[in-house]
Amino acid sequence: MSSKLEADHLFKVFGGRPEQAVERLRRGADREDLRADGTTAAVIDASFDVRAGEIFVVMGLSGSGKSTLLRMLNGLLAPTAGHVRFDGEDLTALGDRELRALRSKKISMVFQHFALFPHRSVRDNAAYGLEVQGVPRAERERRADEALALCGLAGWEDSWPDELSGGMQQRVGLARALATDADLLLMDESFSALDPLIRRDMQDQLLELQKTLKKTIVFITHDLNEAMRLGDRIAVMRDGRVVQTGTAEDILLRPANDYVASFIQDVDRSRVLTAAAVMDTDVRGDEADCGCETATPDASFTELCAISARLSHPVAVVDAGRDLVGVVARQRLVAFLGDERGAPTPCADGGGKVTARA
């Protein structure tokens, strides 16, 4: 999968003599060293790539630098050092007019607090980006209505923002971004202002839309469970630095340092891990043709537990051709859940050993 967006050693420093501050950071200084001199290092040497068609989540606590990083990705903030490349073009070399054109046509942003115009209808809010582009009214209204329908708001086009719930208002914000047919969506804590149930509904909506639209999305959040649920890959930030980048399974099973390990302690692993992540691939011999229930590599942890509860031996994991690619013992399920969390009843200790063809 090709890279759509690249962040190449990005720094953002606020305060006097920022270039000198960058050199100090490169030599090993940290945020506290600079703060003592009245300088703030918001982003420090951040590098990653975002692949076409993926949801790339940047996750970190408040003050970690994630929102500053996002604003460098579309040129709203100029990096102190480093480069941002979009479709191979260096955005840091573009002028203000070129950046405005890029943001109006190729890069859309969905904000945390909806940013709707109260004096405009839902349709006109969704069409606003197209209006800025100079698209004729009939065309922009057609495209806005299509985007609203995609977001579950058909029939609400002539309503006013204050007639909508918070979740519906955020759908309008998402529709506005989709109406422009931008190549890249930047979502800055877009669901964090919503109630938990509405927030999960919006996550579902985004994942469902992504199956069809396959947009390239950079999603900012401080919620690790949200990051794990949405992200094809996740970048974890701390104190301005990207400390680990990987899939949800990578981060859960192979945390890069103690900070990440402590951060993931309370994550519900059963919602993230799959058979491919936990299976033992060191299997050999002939597959026992017992007709027992099997799992696929993308089977969820919950599915594995349910299957394991019905078997007296480990669960066989088979590929599309029914060849055995691994096995998952019940003890392994318990171990991955973590003793301190306890295991669901279906994953109680037990099971034997099977041999199979690798």
pLDDT digits (tens, 9 = 90+) for 49-71: 999 999 999 999 888 999 999 99
Six token digits for residue 103: 């943001």
For residue 166, the model assigns a pLDDT of 85
Residue/partner pairs of 34-43 with CB below 8 Å, 24 or more apart: 39/13, 39/14, 39/15, 40/13, 40/14, 40/15, 41/11, 41/12, 41/13, 41/240, 42/12, 42/13, 42/14, 42/68, 42/240, 43/10, 43/11, 43/12, 43/68, 43/69, 43/72, 43/79, 43/240
Token pair belonging to 68 = 């500053």
259 and 293 housed in the same domain: no
Residues 323 and 248 in one domain: no
Q: Which two tokens stand for residue 243?
A: 């400390």
The pLDDT, as a whole number, for residue 123 is 94
Note whether 231 and 219 are within 8 A (CB): yes
- Domain end residue (candidates: 221, 250, 267): 267
pLDDT at 301 over 70: yes
Q: Would you say how long the chain is, in residues?
A: 358
Q: Which domain holds residue 315?
A: 271-347
Q: How remote is the C-alpha of 49 from its chain's centroid?
A: 13
Domain contains 318: yes
Residue 22 is predicted with a pLDDT of: 94
Indicate whether 187 and 237 sit together in one domain: yes
Give the Cα separation of 227 and 156 in Å (integer): 30
Strands 81-86 and 3-14: antiparallel
Average pLDDT over residues 31-60: 93
Q: Average pLDDT for residues 249-267, to the nearest whole number?
A: 86
Alpha-carbon 244 to chain mean position: 14
Q: What is the mean pLDDT of the chain?
A: 85
Q: Which of 60, 92, 113 has its CA nearest to residue 243?
A: 60
pLDDT digits (tens, 9 = 90+) for 219-255: 999 988 899 889 999 999 999 999 999 998 889 888 9
Same-domain status, 255 and 190: yes
In a domain, 168, yes or no: no
pLDDT of 155 strictly over 70: yes
The two tokens of residue 101 are: 């054109």
Task: Please identify, among 267, 282, 311, the residue that sits at the C-terminal boundary of a domain.
Answer: 267
| 87-127: pLDDT as tens digits | 999 999 999 999 988 888 899 888 777 778 999 999 999 99
How many separate helices (H) and strands (E) can be counted in the chain?
A: 15, 13
Contact status, residue 74 vs residue 53, Cβ threshold 8 Å: no
Number of domains into which the chain is organized? 2
248 lies in the same domain as 195: yes
Question: Mean pLDDT, to the nearest integer, of 66-86?
Answer: 94
Distance, CA of 220 to CA of 226 (rounded, Å): 10
